[in-house]
Amino acid sequence: MREARFRWNGADIPFREGETLAAAILRAGPSDAGLGYFCGIGACQSCVVWCDGRRVEACVTPARTGASVSGSED
């Protein structure tokens, strides 16, 4: 199966079908990975990221191939 990928702060992050941005980022990176993952249910807003120009909670947003995701607006 071809592995799907998105960009996170300039790095290529592979993800599995149905996985959230947070799940893929945490699996790929070091323990914090620059993502403020905290509550996991979209309530605390700590893991809000920019995804293709929109602010979304990484823990409740499905990863999509080719998405450009970063911790800041640039």
Partner 1 sequence: MRDPDVLVVGAGPAGISAAAELAAAGLSVLWIDQRDRPGGAIHRQPSAASTAIAFGPASVRNQWRRLHARFQGTGVSLTGETGFAGIDSDGVAILEQRHSGTTTCVRAKAIILAVGAVERVLPRPGWHLPGVCTAGGMQVMLKETGSPPRGRVLVAGNGPLTLALATQLAAAGNPPVAVLEASDPFRRPSHALALMRSPRLVGEALHYSTRVAFARIPWKRGRRVVAIESHGGALRVRSVAKNGYVETFDVEHIALHDGIRPNTFGLPEGEARPFIIRAGDCREALGAVAAEVDGKQAARRVIARLRGEPAPKPHPMLNAERRAQDTLASLFRPHGDAVPADLPDDTILCRCEGRTVGDLRTLLAAHPGISPREVKLNGRFAMGLCQGRFCADNVAALLEHGGETGPVSADALTGTRWPIRPIAIASLIRDADDPNSSTPQ
Q: Is 68 in the site for partner 1 (CB under 8 A)?
A: no
Contact assessment for residue 32 and residue 21, using Cβ atoms and an 8 Å cutoff: no
The nearest distance, CB 16 to partner 1, in angstroms, is 4
Interface residue with partner 1 among 10, 18, 66, 73 (CB under 8 A) is 18
Q: Is 45 in the site for partner 1 (CB under 8 A)?
A: yes
42 burial class (0-12, 13-18, 19+ CB within 10 angstroms)? middle
Interface positions with partner 1 (CB under 8 A): 1, 16-20, 22-23, 26-27, 31-32, 34, 36-46, 48, 53-56, 59-62
